[in-house]
Amino acid sequence: MTKTVAPKRRMGRPPKEDSVETSNRIIETAGQLFAAQGYAATSMEQVASACNAGKDTIYRRFPSKSDLFAAVVGQLRAGVLDNLEQEITAITGSGDALERLRLVAWWFLSVNLRPEMVAFKRIAMSEAVVFGAADPDQTGTDPIMGRLVELVDDAQQEGFLRHGDPITIADHLIHSIVFGPSNHAMLGGRNYDDAAARSDYFQRAWDLFLHGAAG
């Protein structure tokens, strides 16, 4: 009778797919803990325990907590950019350039009031040094804002907005629409949880952006 010999288990580094899956699991778990507890209260040991991974496994991929936080922020931003691209694709051909800009401005307000976004922006405010190390766009162009600038430029080309630096106009739009409610939410306010209140604020802010405050 021939004895069947089980194949030897390959030693060494895990397959690439397993490694990516493990990294994503660590990032997702860390993101949940950072959002719930804040940066300072979350330890690498807690992350290891929560995602059932050894500390060596985590430190091999993320040498420090700030590196892990950077990966979490990077993944969040990538998800937001993907969401924005889907939004732009959905509204392509809808109305004119100004209407498309208005729809994306509403999207920016909505996404910045999501609980996970509020949580991470709160961390960014309280852990400025950490956030600086984790910000992937410190030395380059933010692709999320880049897409907004393109929409502003389209509205300029169609004569809906006056000509000028589209980057400055896009920054002004974000300040007009997003910053007030976003800061309010980061401080624990709930005024814009109500859909009607959020819509009312947006319409007033959008009108002010378009027409200014001059009499």
State the pLDDT at residue 82: 95
Which one is predicted more confidently, 9 or 126?
Answer: 126
Reported confidence tier of residue 214, pLDDT bands at 50, 70, 90: confident
Candidates 149, 140, 171; CA nearest to 77 is: 140
pLDDT (mean) for 163-181: 95
Do 206 and 127 lie in one domain? The reply is yes
| Direct distance between the N- and C-terminal alpha carbons of the chain, in angstroms, rounded to an integer | 99
Q: Which amino acid is at 180?
A: G
pLDDT (mean) for 131-147: 63
Do 98 and 202 lie in one domain? The reply is yes
Supply φ then ψ for residue 44, to 5 degrees. Answer: -65, -35
In which domain, by residue range, is 154 found? 81-211
Q: Is residue 47 part of a domain?
A: yes
Do 185 and 125 lie in one domain? The reply is yes
Q: Is residue 179 part of a domain?
A: yes
Mean pLDDT for all residues in the chain: 86
CA distance 169 to 51: 43
Q: What digits encode the pLDDT tens for the residues 75-125?
A: 999 999 999 999 999 998 888 999 999 999 999 999 999 998 998 888 877
CATH no. for residue 188? 1.10.357
CATH no. for residue 39? 1.10.10.60
State the pLDDT at residue 3: 53
158 pLDDT above the threshold of 50: yes
Q: What digits encode the pLDDT tens for the residues 19-62?
A: 889 999 999 999 999 988 888 899 999 999 999 888 899 999 99
